[in-house]
Amino acid sequence: MDLTAKDAFFIGGTWVPVTGREALAVVDPATEQQVSSVPAGTAEDVDAAVAAARVAFAGWAATPVADRAALLTAAADALEARTDEVALLISTEMGTPLTFSKAVQVGNPVRVLRSYAQILADYSFEEQIANSLVVKEPIGVVGAITPWNYPLHQVVAKVAAALAAGCTVVLKPSEVAPLSAFALAEVFEQVGLPAGVFNLVTGLGPVVGEAIAAHPDVDMVSFTGSTAAGKRVQAVGAGTVKRVALELGGKSAFIVLDDADLGKAVKIGLANCFINGGQTCTAWTRMLVPAGKYDEALELIKDAAAKYPVGAPTDEGTRIGPLANAAQFDKVRGFIEQAVADGATVVVGGADRPEGFDTGYYVKPTVLGDVAPGSQVEQEEVFGPVLAVIPYADEDEAVAIANGTPYGLAGGVFGGDQEHAVAVAKRMRTGMVDVNGGRFNPLAPFGGYKQSGNGRELGEYGLEEFLEVKSLQL
């Protein structure tokens, strides 16, 4: 695991010295101690990276599809070979349990890289419509701005699709968890990705992020992060009328239908809410249960929540690690305190630190009852292991509550009759719904409605975000 302080950016196929002198600390959330640092990039660094990407674009766009696919496969192989090392790096920089890091934080990026190689084998970039030849071409230079909660997966979801489309990329990872992006740059260097096709600049959003979004030679920005930051990226990008794809916040609901196996539903719903310590934009943070089964559900949740021990990320039994940073630690505890002030009751957990954890950004996995629709904790994204359990009188009310936030990213439905559950899922105004525990599919489109963003990632839909469409009338 490489925790050495970084002092260069990956630009134009080489590691180049930074123009600024400031460094950004990388803190281990389990110990609250600095473990590394990365450079605070400047607008000049972004200019250099964009220039390199622009020079490389024509050659990469003309590279045969089979060759692009081969490089993505080689990158997947090289990253998979470093699974243990990169997983430990991610657990150290953002606190997720190591077993989860290996399976998901690194496993999903490997699968996504392979998926785009697979898609390219069959995808047609041309289509004949009557007397027109419709051609799908790479949009150009892509600026990718990514978050800290899935610091490698969110990068690869954008970069793999952009590279598959024939675009070149300038990446700004989150300054909270940037180290795995350096490992990815090393992978691309190792497999021989042409110079300038992938470029890495770290830094703060108001500096590096804004420079990317505003840059006239950046043709598209793909952003994942908070809704507030996404609105800013969209506003800045509008200055050059560039395409902006946004994957933003969520406040997803899990509707437990009256005919559901309640014990199984609670187990699945709680697991989804607490995944990655609740630091997941698609987490089902609102569990909607029939009013007549509300008390039974709370008892089942108490038992299920006891199986989520808090601990150090490297401990084998840990299911809830520390939150990623001090700001998130304060925010999540504040949400719990405000929920109680608003009338919610603590069924499990609470705002106090877990016993025995005086250091580190640890919070108790928390379940709240008596949560009123419209209250802060029911409406706003907490981004921590906090579940609100809400009773409903009938399915119409359940759907109304589920749809009653500004967000529409994900959700779930669980019921005894699959066809009926699918019908309820179709009524939810959200981009993704898991029915009866349906598994994550890296070939299916990922994205949301309303203030959860626009555009889609993963699969063919994710590829097409990075393509322009041209019609030739013959």
Q: Mind telling me the catalytic residues?
A: 247, 281
- Helix ranges (H only) for 404-466 are 418-426, 459-464
Beta pairing partners, 369? 345
Measured CA distances, 107 to 100, 116, 124, 161 (Å):
9, 15, 28, 17
456/445 Cα distance (integer angstroms): 6
Classified as helix, coil or strand, 109 is helix
How many C-beta atoms surround the C-beta of residue 340 within 10 A? 16
Residues with Cβ within 8 Å of residue 41, at least 6 apart in sequence: 9, 18, 19, 20, 172, 201, 202, 203, 207, 208
Query: Which tokens go with 266?
Result: 């609670």
| Nearest C-alpha neighbor of 404 from the set 450, 342, 463 | 450
| Nearest C-alpha neighbor of 470 from the set 31, 82, 137, 248 | 137
- Helix ranges (H only) for 317-474 are 326-341, 376-379, 395-402, 418-426, 459-464
Helix (H) or strand (E) holding 237: helix 227-237
Q: Rounded to a whole number, what is the largest CA-CA distance in the chain?
A: 73
